[in-house]
Amino acid sequence: MPPITVPPIITNAAALMQRYEVIFCDVWGVIHDGHNAFTEACDALIRFRQGGGTVILLSNAPVPTERVAVMLDRCAVPEEAWDDIVPSGEIALQHIAERGYMSIYYIGPFERDRWTFSRLAGTRAMTIEAADAILCTGLDDDLNETADDYRALLERAHARKLPFVCANPDLVVDVGGRQYLCAGAIGDLYERMDGDVFWAGKPHINAYEAARKRAEAIRGAPVSFDGVLAVGDSLRTDLKGAETAGIDAIFVASGIHRDETMGEEAVSAEKLAVLFAPPAPPAVAVMSRLTW
C-alpha cells in the first residue's frame, strides 16, 4: 500500500494563493453555508482579486448562472469576491441544447429550480414514455425521499435507454449544518443500473474547461491549469476534479467532511490521515476555513 501523504494544515492562505493567477472556488461550504456568507473566505477572494487574480466560482448548483448570483446576494456574499460563475445547471442546459433533446422529463423540485426548467427550449414530458431525455436537478422532496424511491421510474427509463442529464453531481449538500440528498444520488443509482448519465459539473472535466474559458475571456489571455488553484470542501467532487484536471487544491475541512476532519476546535491531523488514505485525491494544503 502506498504511504499516506497528509496535506499540511495552514491557517492563512495568502502566500499560497499568490502563487496562482486564477482560483476556481467552490461555493456551498466554502464561501457560505446556504444562509450566511463566510466573511473571512470572501475577504480572501477579494484580496486575491485586488492583487490581480481572477476568481471563478465553480458550483454544482443545478441552476443557471444568474440564479446563483441571486443566491449569493441573499447570503450576503459580496460581488467583489468573484469575477464569474460556472454552475453545473448551466453546463447541463448547454448539453441538452447541443444534443437537441426536445421532450424532457423533469426530476426535481419544480418551484425551486424553475429557473433551470424555464430555460429549456423543448417541452416537458409528463411521462417517461413520452420523453427523449431526463433532466434531474434534485429529489422532488429532499426531506422525505431517498434515491431508491426513484428506482421503479429509472427502471422504466433504462428499458427505453433514456439519457439522464444530472445537473448536480453532488450526492449531498450541507445547508446550515443539515445534509440533504442531491441529484447525484439519483444519477449514481441510474449509472449503477447501467443507465446513460451525463454528469454536468465537478468532478468532471466539463466543469473545469468551462471555468477556464470564462477565466481566459476575463483575462484576455490563455490560462494554463498550472496557474489555477482550486478551493473546495469535497474529496469526491472538488479534490477529485482538481486532480483529474491537474490543478492544485486547498481542502476546506469544516465543510461536508467536518465530522471526518475536525476536532473540537481545529483540524485533526489524525482524522486527516484516515480521510486522505489512498486512493484519496491530494491537496496542497488543508484549512478549517479559507482565510487570507
Q: Write out the residue range of the structural domain in which residue 66 sits.
A: 14-89+203-287
Specify whether 85 is located in the same domain as 208: yes
pLDDT band, residue 177 (cuts 50/70/90): low
Three-state SS string across 20-85, please?
Answer: CCEEEECCECCCECCCCECHHHHHHHHHHHHCCCEEEEEECCCCCHHHHHHHHHHCCCCHHHCCEE
154: CB partners within 8 A, 6+ apart: 164, 186, 189, 190, 193, 195
Residue 33 buriedness (CB in 10 A; 0-12 / 13-18 / 19+): middle
The CATH number of residue 22's host domain is: 3.40.50.1000
Total tally of structural domains belonging to the chain: 2
Q: Quick one: pLDDT at residue 5?
A: 74
DSSP state of 267: B
Same domain, 165 and 255: no
Residues 190 and 104 in one domain: yes
pLDDT average, residue stretch 37-44: 98
Q: Which of 182, 199, 216 is the last residue of a domain?
A: 199
Residues 218 and 83 sit within 8 Å (Cβ to Cβ): yes
Percent of the chain with pLDDT over 70: 97
Lookup result for grid cell 476532519: 261
Task: Check pLDDT > 60 for residue 101.
Answer: yes
Q: What integer pLDDT is reported at residue 41 of this predicted model?
A: 98
CB-CB contact of 154 with 190 (8 Å):
yes
**CA–CA separation, 138 and 185 (whole Å):** 8
At 231, phi and psi to the nearest 5? -130, 125
In a domain, 3, yes or no: no
Rg (C-alpha) for the chain, rounded Å, is: 19
- Is the model's pLDDT at 1 over the cut of 60? no
Residues 211 and 84 reside in one and the same domain: yes
d(CA 167, CA 138): 8
Among residues 199, 234, 263, the one where a domain terminates is 199
Say if residue 219 is in the same domain as residue 136: no
Residue 183 lies in a domain: yes
Looking at 173, 199, 225, the residue that finishes a domain is: 199
Instruction: Provide the 8-state DSSP code for 256.
Output: T
The terminus-to-terminus CA distance of the chain in angstroms comes to 36
Per-residue pLDDT reduced to its tens digit, 204-246: 999 999 999 999 999 999 999 999 999 999 999 999 999 999 9
Task: Return the sign of the alpha-carbon dihedral for residues 93, 94, 95, 98.
Answer: positive
Q: Name the nearest CA neighbour of 197 among 207, 208, 181, 186.
A: 186
Cell readout for 100 is: 437537441
